[in-house]
């Protein structure tokens, strides 16, 4: 079977993040392939690592100075075997085909774990929204959606947000889609509340991460109450992870952005962070202008702080093996991934070896896409559910995801290993659907 990994590397050179994501799943699912030779015979894994469709396109737009700018857009539709393609769009200069493919591959298994009928996809562009005017962001989003719209649809492919794509960007793209398709069908999720969005979608990934973390702690007869927490990033996932952690009685002592981090031993004041990030789109260092007790440190180093719970919520490979050992040495007991693949393989290995409670992204951050699934349900029914109703469903989904991962890990002789539990449970569901639908 190692030939499969060699073939993935040879066929997709320089897609480092994609190789990393495939490697991790591949190593977890060996026991499933041993128990189910029919999956092996039908070459389920070999088919799964090849996207059903990949689209790359030019996005040309005009900036405020009248200069033409050109970016590259992507949509990788990985698997629609259990439902319409579903996954976010990322706008960041680091976006490449390899990054989009790693995210799309992870999305297949994550979506399967939610229990909702959603396939896996991901997309984006190497566009940097930072420092762009409102008009520039709108023109870029419209140009991007002008190409994308022909590949998506409510029962085909339903994109959402990710890094650099929030409610504002989704609004511009959903509007352009509606204009070109001449149809309102709820094709994007993460929409504004006045045009089909769902309550709790904005909070969902962060809240879901904490519901999952509470389940991990409950399994150890503990809770978030009184825990000290470090959260990386200060975007959508981080902000609502911090909000829920604080509601659950924890003390969040540090947050970051791509320039550096703030450490506030008295507890992070989230209203200040939200004003800097959500209202003024500023930098996290500005936090210290308002809170003298806090300290700003440029660069990395966040994971050298001591805490009970670490929640990496910024980007892939942001926490490496040395960071993991520093966290363990400083007494950290729980790590749950809010971002996608934020911990390197060396870091994950260290956490599992030292028996920390470790929540892998596919499971721990599935609350975002699960609530997108609830948004699709509301759109189809032409209904709007209350905040409490959506939040209750989200919490139940996260409890189910945790229970599925934990029981699957135990069934396969790996009690407590949620990495293997998530990979096996997600893969098993998708593999069965592929077998049932024949070779394609
Ligand atoms: P946002 O754009 O809202 O925030 C991203 C945050 O991470 C910002 O604070 C940003 O800092 C920081 N960041 C981004 N790139 C880097 C980098 N290369 N190095 C260091 N810091 C960086 O994105 P989201 O909060 O939506 O997404 C964060 C993570 O969560 C991603 O991995 C995403 O795939 C994952 N995720 C998101 C979901 C969602 O519903 N939004 C759902 C599931 C997973 P700066 O502002 O300086 O760039």
User: Could you report the per-residue pLDDT of 395-408, keeping only the tens digit for each?
Assistant: 999 999 999 999 99
CA of 165 to the centre of ligand 1 (A): 9
Mean of pLDDT values over 315-334: 98
Within 10 angstroms of residue 355's Cβ, the number of other Cβ atoms is 10
Point out the ligand 1 atom lying closest to the alpha carbon of residue 233.
9
pLDDT of residue 318: 98
Asked if 365 and 205 touch (Cβ cutoff 8 Å), the reply is: yes
Q: Which residues contact 322 (CB under 8 A, 6 or more apart)?
A: none
CA of 163 to the centre of ligand 1 (A): 4
Mean confidence (pLDDT) of the chain: 97
CA of 171 to the centre of ligand 1 (A): 19
pLDDT of residue 352: 98
Which residue's CA is the closest to the ligand 1 atom numbered 11?
257
**pLDDT by residue (tens digit) across 266-288?**
999 999 999 999 999 999 999 99
**pLDDT by residue (tens digit) across 104-121?**
999 999 999 999 999 999
Point out the ligand 1 atom lying closest to the alpha carbon of residue 338.
30
**pLDDT by residue (tens digit) across 202-259?**
999 999 999 999 999 999 999 999 999 999 999 999 999 999 999 999 999 999 999 9
Report whether pLDDT(1) > 80.
no
Which residues are catalytic, by number?
Answer: 122
Does ligand 1 have an atom closer than 6 angstroms to the CB of 312?
no
Tokens of 121: 């996809």
Cβ burial of 414 (10 Å; 0-12, 13-18, 19+) is middle
Can you list the domains of the chain with their CATH numbers?
49-185 (3.40.50.10860), 204-359 (3.40.50.720)
Share of the chain above pLDDT 70, in %: 100
Spatial distance between the Cα atoms of 270 and 243, rounded to a whole number of angstroms: 7
The DSSP call for residue 167 is H
CA of 312 to the centre of ligand 1 (A): 10
pLDDT of residue 227: 98
Asked if 260 and 286 touch (Cβ cutoff 8 Å), the reply is: no
Tell how far CA 157 is from the center of its chain.
17
Does ligand 1 have an atom closer than 6 angstroms to the CB of 161?
yes
pLDDT of residue 201: 97
Which residue's CA is the closest to the ligand 1 atom numbered 20?
258
pLDDT of residue 322: 98
**Which among 242, 260, 315 is the best mutation to test ligand 1's pocket, defined by most ligand atoms within 8 Å of the CB?**
315
Spatial distance between the Cα atoms of 104 and 112, rounded to a whole number of angstroms: 13
Mean of pLDDT values over 405-424: 98
pLDDT of residue 2: 83
Mean of pLDDT values over 170-180: 98
Mean of pLDDT values over 18-39: 96
Spatial distance between the Cα atoms of 147 and 126, rounded to a whole number of angstroms: 15
CA of 97 to the centre of ligand 1 (A): 18
* Backbone φ and ψ of 34, nearest 5°: -70, -40
CA of 92 to the centre of ligand 1 (A): 10
Point out the ligand 1 atom lying closest to the alpha carbon of residue 237.
25
Q: pTM of the entire structure?
A: 0.97
**Which among 110, 233, 239, 240 is the best mutation to test ligand 1's pocket, defined by most ligand atoms within 8 Å of the CB?**
233
Report whether pLDDT(134) > 70.
yes
* Backbone φ and ψ of 64, nearest 5°: -65, -20
Does ligand 1 have an atom closer than 6 angstroms to the CB of 366?
no
């Amino acid at each position: 079977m190692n030939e499969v990994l060699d073939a993935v590397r040879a066929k997709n050179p320089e897609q480092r993040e994609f190789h990393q994501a495939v490697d991790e799943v591949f190593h977890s699912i060996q026991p499933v392939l041993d128990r189910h030779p029919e999956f092996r015979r039908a070459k389920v894994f070999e088919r799964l690592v090849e996207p059903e469709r990949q689209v790359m396109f030019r996005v040309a737009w005009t900036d405020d100075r009248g200069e033409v700018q050109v970016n590259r857009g992507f949509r990788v539709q990985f698997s629609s075997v259990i439902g319409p393609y579903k996954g976010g769009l990322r706008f960041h200069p680091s976006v490449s085909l390899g990054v989009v493919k790693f995210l799309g591959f992870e999305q297949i298994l994550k979506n399967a774990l939610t229990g909702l009928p959603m396939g896996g996809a991901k997309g984006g562009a190497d566009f940097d929204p930072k420092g762009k005017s409102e008009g520039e962001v709108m023109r870029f989003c419209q140009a991007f959606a002008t190409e994308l719209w022909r590949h998506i649809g409510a029962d085909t492919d339903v994109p959402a947000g990710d890094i650099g794509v929030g409610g504002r960007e989704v609004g511009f793209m959903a509007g352009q889609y509606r204009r070109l398709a001449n149809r309102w069908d709820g094709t994007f999720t993460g929409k504004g509340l006045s045009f089909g969005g769902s309550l709790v979608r904005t909070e969902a990934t962060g809240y879901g991460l904490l519901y999952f973390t509470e389940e991990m702690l409950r399994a150890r007869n503990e809770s978030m109450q009184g825990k000290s927490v470090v959260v990386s990033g200060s975007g959508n996932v981080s902000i609502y992870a911090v909000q829920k952690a604080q509601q659950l009685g924890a003390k969040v002592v540090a947050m970051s952005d791509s320039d550096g981090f703030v450490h506030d031993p008295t507890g992070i004041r989230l209203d200040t962070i939200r004003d800097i990030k959500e209202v003024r789109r500023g930098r996290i260092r500005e936090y210290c202008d308002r809170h003298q007790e806090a300290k700003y440190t440029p660069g990395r180093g966040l994971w050298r702080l001591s805490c009970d719970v670490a929640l990496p919520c910024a980007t892939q490979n942001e926490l490496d093996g040395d960071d993991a050992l520093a966290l363990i040495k400083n007494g950290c007991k729980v790590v749950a991934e809010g971002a996608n693949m934020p911990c390197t393989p060396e870091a994950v290995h260290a956490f599992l070896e030292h028996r920390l409670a470790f929540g892998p992204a596919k499971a721990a951050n599935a609350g975002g896409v699960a609530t997108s699934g609830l948004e699709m349900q509301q759109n189809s029914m032409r209904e709007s559910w209350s905040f409490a109703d959506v939040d209750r469903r989200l919490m139940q989904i996260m409890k189910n995801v945790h229970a599925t991962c934990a029981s699957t890990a135990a069934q396969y002789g790996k009690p407590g290993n949620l990495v293997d539990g998530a990979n096996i449970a997600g893969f098993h569901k998708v593999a069965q659907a592929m077998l049932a639908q024949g070779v394609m």
